[in-house]
């Protein structure tokens, strides 16, 4: 996948890697949904989803990076074919165990093949998450077009 300088995030979070208003019983199920989107799109191996879950179990809820937002990921050697991201919103927010930023409403899982390819997309994502108005739009989006307009912005 080749990324243009200003549309990396929009190309990584595509319609096929987005699922909105999902029902999940717990954080593991939510991460599984986000990882399965990457598997189904052909970006990662099935074992990558379990590696993301195992990482949170082992290291704690460090993936909850902002109020209401989790960014699960695993190592490139856990089965990443190409840089990718999925975005999942939850109908009912869930707790990961991060007292400062729970409950989580948005899960953006990502995979990368090296330590550089994903940086531009994560930087743009951080700017969006840091904007309370844009974050609220993402949390409540009812369709991909709404997500796309925020990512494009």
pLDDT in tens, the chain (153 residues): 433 444 588 889 999 999 999 999 999 999 999 999 999 999 999 999 999 999 999 999 999 999 999 999 999 999 999 999 999 999 999 999 999 999 999 999 999 998 777 788 889 999 999 999 999 999 999 999 999 999 987
Q: Is 73 a catalytic residue?
A: yes
CATH number of 8-152: 3.40.930.10
Q: Residue 52: its pLDDT value, please?
A: 98
What is the pTM for the complete model shown? Answer: 0.92
Domain locations in the chain as residue ranges: 8-152
Query: Residue 40: enclosing H or E segment and its boundaries?
Result: helix 27-40
Q: How many CB atoms lie within 10 A of CB 107?
A: 28
64: phi then psi, degrees, rounded to nearest 5: -85, 95
CB 98 within 8 A of CB 137: no
Return the pLDDT at 7.
56
Q: Which of 33, 53, 38 is nearest to 1 (CA)?
A: 38
* Calpha distance 49→105 (Å, rounded): 19
8, 10, 73, 107: which is the annotated catalytic residue? Answer: 73
Cα(39)–Cα(17) distance, rounded to whole angstroms?
9
Whole-number Å distance between alpha carbons of 138 and 132: 10
pLDDT of residue 70: 98
């Amino acid at each position: 996948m080749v990324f243009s300088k200003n549309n990396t995030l929009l190309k990584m979070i595509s319609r096929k890697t987005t699922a909105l208003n999902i029902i999940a019983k717990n954080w593991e199920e939510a991460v599984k949904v986000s990882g399965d989107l990457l598997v189904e799109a052909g970006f990662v191996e099935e074992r990558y989803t379990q590696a993301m879950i195992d990482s949170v179990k082992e290291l704690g809820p460090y993936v909850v990076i902002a109020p209401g937002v989790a960014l699960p990921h695993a190592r490139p050697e856990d089965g990443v074919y190409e840089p990718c991201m999925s975005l999942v919103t939850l109908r009912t927010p869930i707790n990961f165990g991060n007292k400062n930023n729970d409950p989580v409403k948005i899960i953006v899982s990502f995979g990368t093949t090296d330590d550089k390819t994903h940086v531009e997309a994560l930087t743009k994502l951080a700017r969006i998450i840091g904007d309370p108005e844009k974050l609220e739009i993402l949390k409540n989006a009812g369709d991909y077009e709404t997500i796309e307009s925020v990512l494009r912005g």
